[in-house]
Amino acid sequence: MANYRSGFVTLLGRPNVGKSTLINKLIGEKITITSPIAQTTRNKLKGILTTDKGQIIFIDTPGVHKPHHRLGEILVKNAKSAINGVDMVIFVIDSSEEPGRGDEYILNFLIANKTEFIVALNKWDLVNKEFRTLRLDQYRRFFGNRNFQIVSASQGEGCSELVDIALNFLPEGPKLYGEETICDQPLDNLLSDLVREQVLKNTREEVPHSVAVKIEKREEMKRKNGKVFTAILATIIVERSTQKGILIGNKGSMLKMIGQSARLNMSKLIDGQVHLELFVKVVPNWRKKESRLIEFGYEADF
């Protein structure tokens, strides 16, 4: 197709600036989990947007932060490595805050690596109208004459303009994925993340970052009435027995709530009925152990 463009675009930024929400909005489907908890994203996930003008493979990355354990080191290095071999980077900023040292660190990293990038000032809907001119001036001084686009991932504001800008950076070329493909992750990865999303949303601060989810078994089965459903067995891994108690809750109430919400989202993802069984297992200090990180799907890819 003449003038058709295709290529790779990485979303990079600090934790909790809204990269995953933005990717879901750009793709038009929920392919990556979101929560108010920083460092929700753990895998580099490709979301694929196909339009009549081109195909953009967006790469969602973990937030760049100061790591405190081996898992954190892997997440940050994976995020940084996601600029290699891509056509451009969208540097996502939380515009409801002033530019900070974390933003400066990422800016210097991109400049040092001579990376082509534009800036997405996300969460613009959270900036009070009387402060918007001031906030724009702050970011103009911070970035100089670099291009930036105002967006609100939650509202959809500025997203189509961001897609058009990204397409202009891509080379001419054919589709790299089929038109129906919107994500490159194995199904079990997506299913485990749907469980982890509900853990993040329903538990206290002391639990979320210590949690991993492993899909132990997934099997299509038939009920007596002949209806097909998918049976899924998943284990939630935590580091301490107190965290296990919080996840299970009084008479299993918390685990039941997590399971019900995760099952609904799983049913939407696979477009069919799901029977979900959850178990909680304590694996002390799993985030610091290389063998456990590999077992739970957090391998370094740099």
- Answer yes or no: is 182 within a domain: no
Ordered alpha helix ranges (H), 229-289: 241-248, 253-270
Indicate if the pLDDT at residue 38 is higher than 60.
no
Rounded Cα distance between 184 and 8, Å, is 13
Q: Which domain holds residue 277?
A: 187-295
Q: Are residues 267 and 120 in the same domain?
A: no
Range in 112-116, 118-122, 179-183, 195-199 the model is least confident about = 179-183
Reported as a single tens digit per residue, the pLDDT across 208-266 is 677 889 999 999 888 888 888 999 999 999 999 999 999 999 999 999 999 999 999 89
Indicate if the pLDDT at residue 42 is higher than 50.
no
pLDDT at 211: 86
What is the domain-level CATH number for residue 88? 3.40.50.300
- Answer yes or no: is 26 within a domain: yes
Residue 196: CB partners within 8 Å, gap ≥ 6? 33, 211, 212, 213, 236
Strand ranges for the chain from DSSP E: 5-12, 45-50, 54-60, 88-94, 117-122, 148-150, 212-222, 228-238, 273-282
Q: Which amino acid is at 190?
A: L
- Answer yes or no: is 179 within a domain: no
Rounded Cα distance between 120 and 162, Å, is 8
Q: Which residue in this structure is represented by tokens 């997203």?
A: 159
Q: Are residues 44 and 86 in the same domain?
A: yes
Residue 197: CB partners within 8 Å, gap ≥ 6? 33, 34, 35, 40, 262, 265
Distances (CA, A) of 155 to 12, 49, 93, 131: 20, 19, 16, 19
Q: Which amino acid is at 28?
A: G
Q: Are residues 211 and 289 in the same domain?
A: yes
Q: Are residues 195 and 162 in the same domain?
A: no
- Answer yes or no: is 181 within a domain: no
Domain boundary among 169, 204, 224: 169
What is the domain-level CATH number for residue 209? 3.30.300.20
Q: How many Cα atoms sit within 13 Å of 108 on the Cβ side?
A: 6
Q: Which amino acid is at 82?
A: A
Percent of the chain clearing pLDDT 70 (strictly above) = 84
pLDDT at 43: 52
Reported as a single tens digit per residue, the pLDDT across 146-173 is 888 999 999 999 999 999 999 999 999 9
Q: Are residues 163 and 206 in the same domain?
A: no
Helix orientation angle between 253-270 and 241-248, rounded to the nearest 10 degrees: 70
Give yes or no for a contact between 236 and 195, defined as CB atoms under 8 angstroms apart: yes
- Answer yes or no: is 300 within a domain: no
Helix orientation angle between 101-112 and 132-143, rounded to the nearest 10 degrees: 40
Distances (CA, A) of 234 to 171, 196, 258, 266: 42, 11, 12, 12
Range in 60-69, 178-187, 270-279 the model is least confident about = 60-69
Count of structural domains, the chain = 2
Residue 119: CB partners within 8 Å, gap ≥ 6? 90, 91, 93, 139, 143, 146, 147, 148, 149
pLDDT at 68: 57
- Selection from 2, 6, 18, 28 nearest residue 166 by Cα: 6
Q: Is the pTM of this model over 0.85?
A: no
DSSP-derived 3-state class of residue 80: helix
pLDDT at 75: 60
DSSP state of 183: B
Task: Compute the average pLDDT of residues 40-55.
Answer: 76
Position with higher pLDDT, 72 vs 282 = 282
- Answer yes or no: is 180 within a domain: no
